Structure 1
Amino acid sequence: MNIPFSPPFIDQAVIDEVLDSLRTNWITSGPKVKALEYELLNLTGSKATVCVNSWTSGAIMMLKWFGVGDGDEVIVPAYSYCATALCVLHCGAIPVMVDILDDFTIDPVMVKSKITSKTKAIIGVDIAGLPCNYNELREIVNDPAIKSIFKPVTAKQSELGRILLMSDAAHSIGATYEGLPAAQKCDVTIFSFHAVKNITTAEGGCICLNLPPPFDNQEEYSFLKIFSLNGQNKDAFAKSKGANWRYDILFKGFKMNMPDICAAIGLAQIRQYSNTLLPLRKNIFLKYCAAFKSYDWFIEPTGKDEIREGSYHLFPLRIKGITEAERDQIIESLVNWGVIVNVHFIPMPMLTYFKSIGYAIENYPNSYKQFACEISLPIYPQLSDPEVDFIIESVIGAVHQVVEINKLVKVLS
């Protein structure tokens, strides 16, 4: 067999929705984006949703909206994709990295220990689709002692009166927390709709707003729509309606809007998501767990616990007691057998750029520990039962082959 890692879900409904955009001759931001934002409101129960052209764009925009800038600090996990820290750096601020828990989520105890008067935001990352411990993070940002050292320097910061709590929910659309959509747990939650995500728009993202009083989330939505379009007070769709060409630039904005041709893909997928696409992912996740649980090398990932249920975006297989080199040997065997896998993620302090600016993986031992033994298996709705069975057989065979051979080598040496 030849099993790819994560192809996009493209069915006739997706094709029809994209063709509808093409036939209307409207492919930039317009009615499809509005329709997708409406579907996202329904899915997440958020107070407002703003579609943008990537997760990274959305994160930069929200940090800028909050006034994060030179000399400020934003706490992030060391174990994440680079965009989680790059969005901070692009604002001129400093990413303060902390270690993770065994379930891959940011360690709240470490977060609290790193808060200073310069801390303006915390970004939790829902690795593999599992929400962070947002109740604990909310307690931290609302702690009177923590609030007392918060030093607002912009109107938005004064209005909130505390550290901004953001969720890097690139993996976790559809995840729940205490029975409610997990997006409601943070001030700002940002999804990614990159090609490999549970819902894709080829490239894209969405900002979910759940700001507390005295913020008016609808007012902020209106501002962010303009902010994402160069500060222009009228988008192209509005300008196309009759003699409506005159526009103004109200402030220095960004060009981060999502086009309709991209929104059309996500619109067709999101309508099938809760009832079809997400359950199919969950079934594969559970099948993997059932197949591997009898092996003493298997570390079961958390798909669901007492208060959280993830989106089953990844199946982060971890193999007990192996080295990074042995993990890589297992991956090579799987690829040779036709199963394409991945690793999520290389901790940021191991990457050349972050090492060059002073981060060192030795300061984040659990991030390295989880990385060294992790292999992300294919998990997507199009996988057939025979393909899942083949992946399971291949994993068991590859682990046995590598681990047993290396044991023998050690004995003989």
Structure 2
Amino acid sequence: MADRIELTRISIPLLPSQSQAKRKGAGARTWLVVSKSGKISFEELGKNTVMRRSGITAHDLRVVEPELSYPSAVLRRESAVVVNLEHIKAIVTANEVLVPNPRDPRMASFVYDLESKLSDFGATITSDKAMEQSLTYMPPEASGSNRKASNGESKRMKPKPLPFEFRALEICLESVCKSLESETSTLEEEAYPALDQLSAKTKTKNLKRVRVIKGRLVALTGRVQKVRNEFEHLLDDDTDMAQMYLTDKLATLQTEGLVPEDEIDDAYAFLSGDHINEETSSKCSTIDLKPNVEEVEMLLGAYFVEIEGILSKLSTLQEYVDNTEDYINIVLDDKQNQLLRMGLFISTASFMVTLAVVAIGFLSINIHIDLFDGTYNQWYAAFGGCSVGSVVLYIIVILVFKWLRLFG
């Protein structure tokens, strides 16, 4: 009995450590990290690590979690832009892009674009810096005027590239528009033949097929409309667009002396906030950042026009569906009218036959009348007269219906 108690006392302390170990690895997931220099890596990061590196809150992090479904949104934060558009989920900072669940098949094209284009972007920045240094350097014996002329020519020759966050944001918007455009084209290829086939021949199979297509059309239109509304909301607010200039914010903080100069290219040191105290944070909030929003406005405007084009295609398809439905309703109404006319013909004929049967039955009752004193020829003549009378009366009634325009 004492041994059992001793074993119980030994086994109890092991449980908390096991549960803590499970909780420690529960929040970690694989993230694709693409740095400003073009370096690409897959890292196992926990939620706290991601929030510390990007400077976002737990609520913002839940927006990009693949397991949760949030409406399309582009969240602007002090040190990051959280992108949640369709299946594209990313956290964009001034120095890197974090993409959750990069091995998702739906993210394959987006991940490939990030890896290829941002790595080219890093190489371009490196080459631009080397070229700028080579053009800026002049021999000691060179005059100052020649040096200024060389610098001026280099600036005119090479336009200013987009900041890193805008390049990453452009890839996100491009992937979203490309995905929606592909779905729209696929839907058009299926919808127009199905609608034409339904117009040619109204069958239950064709009606079911069109019903499924219409459901897909309504769902896709709603998704495109949400993305369009988000683009429109961004374009309508210059303050929101100004907050997306993360590189300028970082440069302004360095100019104001809030961030050491040797940490300007270190995303983790800047975004973690470990070296920024409350006084520095208050100074950051008081900085009047008024960058020129023309760059981001042109970027968002271009993809807003593309989304408008996709929405226009869906609207055209919706109108075609509505016109087909109207045509099918007209055809069905005409068929229904034909059935009603046929029912009226049959009802009138049945009524006339019933009158003839009643007349003949009245004449054939077992009572003594002069009509049956002789042979049955007289009865046959009465039967024929009643039948002919009912036919003549039927024709008269039909002519009256047509005169009253009951048959159209």
Q: TM-score range by the shorter chain?
A: under 0.3
Which structure: greater helix fraction?
A: 2
Larger RCO (CA under 8 A, 6+ residues apart): 1
- Return the index of the structure with the highest Cα Rg: 2
